[in-house]
Structure 1
Amino acid sequence: MAGPLVVVYDRGAASAAEIAVGLGALGPVVFLVNPSEHTRRTGEVLRRLGDVVPLTGDRETDLAAVRRLHPAAVLTFSEPMLPVTAWLADALDLPFHPIATTGLLTNKVQQRERLRLHGVDDVRSRPISSIDEWAAARDHVGLPAVVKPVYGQGSRNTYVITDDAVAHRVLAPLLPAGRASTVLVEELLVGRPGGPYGDYVSVESCHGPQGLRHLAVTGKLPLAPPFRETGQFWPAAVTDAERQEILDLATRALTALDLGPGLTHTEIKLTERGPRIIEVNGRLGGHINDLARHAAGFDMVRLAGQLALGQQGAVPPVDQPGKVHFQHNTLAPVESCELLSITGAAEVRRIDGIDGFRAYARVGDVLEADVMTRHLDLLWGHCDRHADLAALLDEAQRRICYEFRFGNGVRRLSAADLQRGS
C-alpha cells in the first residue's frame, strides 16, 4: 500500500474538508498540524477527516515522526507552513519547492530583489528596521508609498503612506525601539481605471513534470481601503491582448523563482504602464478551489496532490466558463467590535443567480481593530455577462445585514455599508 499524503496544516487557502475531499482519492491523508489558535479550534474536525500528527517545533522529532509514516508526498496550502514543508520534502527526497525558493516566495524583500535581478519588474522598494531609516527609504521609493510586512498575508499591517506624518504614525507600532523588526517600503502601484472591477488580477499556475502551466487569470472585485480583497470572478474582464501580457509577466516572474512542483498564485496590478507584479505566492490562492469547482467542476486541491506525487494532472480550461462565476466576501469593520446578529441569509439565497451563501463569523465573535482582510462571509453565484455582475452583487449586499456593538454603541450595517467602509 502506498504511503499517505502528509499535509502540513494551519489556516490557509483550503479548508480541512476541502483537503480531505480533494486528496482522498489519491491516498490516505495525514494532517501534520502546527499548534495555533486555528488548529485548536478545528482539531475535532481534523481528527474526523484523517490521522493527525502534531508538529513539535523540534526538527529531529518532527522529521522522525514523518519518516515513520513513509509518506508518498508532502504538501501545504498554508503560507506560513511553506518553509517547514520545503524542509521536510528536502529531507525526505519528495517533490516540492526547494528550500531556497520558499525563502523567495515568503520573504517579500528577497522576492523583490530576485525579480529585479532577473529584469522581471523594477518596482522600487527598500526594507527598513527603524523609523530613522524612513527618510532614505522615502527618497528612494517616492511618495505615495506602501508599507507592508516582510512576511505575511491577508493585507496584514499594510498601509498607504502619503507624507512623513502618516509614516511616523504607521511605523511607530511596527518598528518599536529595542525590538528587532523589519518592514518593506515600496512604491505605490497605481492601477488603471477599472470601472466596476478591481485594478488587479491573479494568475493561477502549476509547475509539474511537464513544466510551468498557467491555469487561469482571475478577475478581482475592487479593493476596500487600504488593501482588503472583496472577491473574484472567472473569466477576468480583460482583452485577449491584456491576458497575454499578464501571462507573459507571470511566466517571467515564476521562471526567475526556480519553482519546484506545486501551485502558485501571482498577484498582478494593471497599470497604465502595463501589468506589474504585486507578489508571488507559492501555494493555492484563497477560495480558488471553490471557484474552480463551481465554474468548471475541477478540484485544484486534487491537482496539488497529484503534483506532490510527481504526477502531471490533466486540467480543463477552468477560467473560461460559459457564464461569469463569482465570489464575494463581506469584510469585517476595521474597528474593534462584537458581532451581535446576522440576518438576510435565507433571503439572499433566493436571488436568481446566487448559488450559495456561507457565514464565517459567528454571533458573539469579538473582532479586534485591524486593517487586514477579514472575511465575515462568502457569497457565490453566476450571471450571463460581466455587465450584470455589479447589479447582482449590489442587490445581494443590501439583503445581508450585520449588527455590531462598537465602543460608542450598536450599529446595524448591510454588506453594502461594510463594502463602503461605513
Structure 2
Amino acid sequence: MRLYLTALNPTDSVLDGFLPAAARLGLPVTVLTDQPDGWPPVVADVTGCDVRDARAVIDAIHHGPRPAAVLSNSDHLQTPTALAAEYLGLPGKDWRATLRCKDKRLTRRTLADAGLDTVATVTLGPDDDVAVAASLPFPAVVKPREGVASEDTYLVTDLAELTARVAEVRARRPEVSLVVEEYLAGELHTFDTLGDGSALAVTGGWHTTLGPPPSFVEESLDWSPALPAPVVADLRAQLDALGAGFGACHTEFVLQEGRARLIEVNYRLIGDRMDLILAELLEVPLFEYVIRVHLGESLAAMPLPDPNTVPRYVRVEYVCAGRSGTLVAAPGAIDLQLGDARVGCRPLRNVGTTSAVTGTNRDYLAVVHAVGADPEAVAVALRSFRASHRWDIA
C-alpha cells in the first residue's frame, strides 16, 4: 500500500512536511509530478505524469503499487486529484467542492445561491470588453479567475485603471480569465480547518497584515484564533455550502460589520511555511493528520488542541525583495533562542537567484517567525533578529 502525492514543483510543504510524515507512518510515497527533473534526489520515487489530467493520474497509479491514498497540497491539482481518488474508490475531496473553491466566480455564485453572501462580480474572458465591468462599485479588485499567490491581483479605483490593469495582464497571459469584484474592506483573517468529511476541526487563525496597494502581498501574520461565535458559525456555513469539509482547508476572509466575508478558499494547508509553523505552534503532527484522514481515519482519533487555549503566541514575518535583481547575501536556515522567544528563519530564495519584483508572495526572500509566551517577547526577539541579519540584492 502506498501514498500517491500529486505535485508540480517541489515545495517545503511536501519536502519538510508530507514526506517525513508519511515516513513516520510507515507509508511509502510516490510523487506524481509534471516536473520530475526538478525534484531533489532525496525524493526516491518520483514519477512523471500530467498531473493536471485526472486520467493520467489514474493511469500512473494503476501502473504502480496498490494505493492507500492519493492527495495533493497544490491549489492547481485539487480537482484532478479528487476525481482520481473518487474513481479509485479512495477517501478524498468532492471534486465539485474543489472546483467551487478554485474557481473564484463559482465561489461567489455558490455563496450567493445559498443566501449567505453576495459580492458584486463580473467575469472577463480573454476576449471580453472591459466595459462590461462598468456597473461595478469602485474601488474594485481584479484577479485571475483561478489565481493563486496574489499573482496579477490589483486594487483599481475606476474603470480607466481597471482597463489598464487588464491590458497589462493580458499582454503577459492572453489566455487568462479574470474576475472583477467589489473591494471588501476590513481586517484580513484566516480560518484554518481539518475535516474527515463528517467532523470539522478548527486548527487555527491568523490576522494578516498586507503591504501597500495596489498589490495584496502578505507581509506578516499574527496568531489570532479567537473569533466571535457568530463569525465562526458564519464561516462554517459558507464552507458547508462550498462542500469544503474534507482534509485541510485555508480560508481567507475579512471581518466587516460583524460578518465574515470570504476573500478566497484554498482547499489545502496554509502555505509559505505557515503550515510547518502551525504544526510547531500546536505541537501536533499536522501533516500526519492530513494523511490519516485521506486514509479514511476519523478525526476523533487525532487529538487537536482548541486553538484558543494554546499557551503560546507566534508572529510570522516575510522578508520581501524591495527591487528586482540578484540576491547576493542572505542568512541560511537558523533556529535559536532569543530572550524569551524561539526564533526560526528559513530561506525562500537561494543566494545567486535573479528575479524581478512581481507584487506577489513570489517576492519573498525568507520567512522569519518567533514563538513565545506573549506578543511582547515575540516582538523583541524578531526586532533583534532582523537587526542583525541582512538580505542584499544587487
With 105-114 and 372-381 compared, the bigger mean Cα shift is at: 372-381
Partner of 2:48: 54
Q: What is the deviation of 1:389?
A: 4.5
Q: 1:398 aligns with which of 349, 372, 387?
A: 387
Kept in 1: contact 2:138–2:156 (CA 8 A): yes
Matched, 1:117 2:122: no
Distance 1:278 1:167, change over 3 A: same
Structure 1: which 5+ runs fail to align? 192-198, 406-422
Q: What is the deviation of 1:112?
A: 1.0
Distance 1:388 1:120, change over 3 A: farther
**% identical equivalent positions:** 23
Aligned length: 383
Kept in 1: contact 2:332–2:345 (CA 8 A): no
Paired residue type of 2:282 = A
Query: Could you tell me how far apart the structure 2 residues matched to 1:123 and 1:254 are?
Result: 16
Distance 1:329 1:31, change over 3 A: farther
Partner of 1:82: 78
SS in 2 for 1:151: coil
Query: Could you tell me how far apart the structure 2 residues matched to 1:343 and 1:62 are?
Result: 39
Kept in 2: contact 1:143–1:188 (CA 8 A): yes
Matched, 1:234 2:236: no
Kept in 1: contact 2:54–2:83 (CA 8 A): no
Distance 1:130 1:153, change over 3 A: closer
Q: How does 1:245-264 map to 2 (within 5 A)?
A: 245-259=230-244, 261-264=246-249
Distance 1:289 1:253, change over 3 A: same
Q: What is the deviation of 1:388?
A: 5.0
Paired residue type of 1:378 = V
Kept in 2: contact 1:228–1:373 (CA 8 A): yes
Distance 1:87 1:43, change over 3 A: farther
Partner of 1:293: 279
Query: Could you tell me how far apart the structure 2 residues matched to 1:159 and 1:89 are?
Result: 35
With 203-212 and 279-288 compared, the bigger mean Cα shift is at: 203-212
Q: What is the deviation of 1:61?
A: 5.0
Matched, 1:203 2:197: no
SS in 2 for 1:139: coil
Partner of 1:146: 141
Partner of 1:6: 4
Deviation string, structure 1 residues 187-234 (Cα, Å, up to 9, x no partner): 11111xxxxxxx221111122154223222x22341113211123333
Structure 2: which 5+ runs fail to align? none
Query: Could you tell me how far apart the structure 2 residues matched to 1:273 and 1:351 are?
Result: 38
TM-score for both structures, normalised by structure 2: 0.88
SS in 1 for 2:235: helix
Query: Could you tell me how far apart the structure 2 residues matched to 1:404 and 1:61 are?
Result: 41
SS in 2 for 1:369: coil
Q: How does 1:16-415 map to 2 (within 5 A)?
A: 16-36=15-35, 40-47=37-44, 51-56=45-50, 60=55, 62-67=57-62, 68-129=64-125, 133-140=129-136, 142-176=137-171, 179-191=174-186, 199-208=187-196, 210-216=198-204, 218-225=205-212, 226-236=215-225, 238=226, 242-259=227-244, 261-272=246-257, 274-286=259-271, 287-313=273-299, 314-317=302-305, 319=307, 320-333=309-322, 335-342=323-330, 349=336, 351-352=338-339, 353-374=341-362, 375-405=364-394
> Cα RMSD (Å) of the superposition?
2.6
Partner of 1:414: none
Kept in 2: contact 1:74–1:308 (CA 8 A): yes
Kept in 1: contact 2:321–2:357 (CA 8 A): no
Distance 1:249 1:389, change over 3 A: farther
SS in 2 for 1:283: coil
SS in 1 for 2:277: helix
Q: What is the deviation of 1:132?
A: 5.9
Query: Could you tell me how far apart the structure 2 residues matched to 1:235 and 1:365 are?
Result: 34
Q: What is the deviation of 1:273?
A: 5.0
Kept in 1: contact 2:332–2:346 (CA 8 A): no
Kept in 2: contact 1:323–1:383 (CA 8 A): yes
Kept in 2: contact 1:336–1:369 (CA 8 A): yes
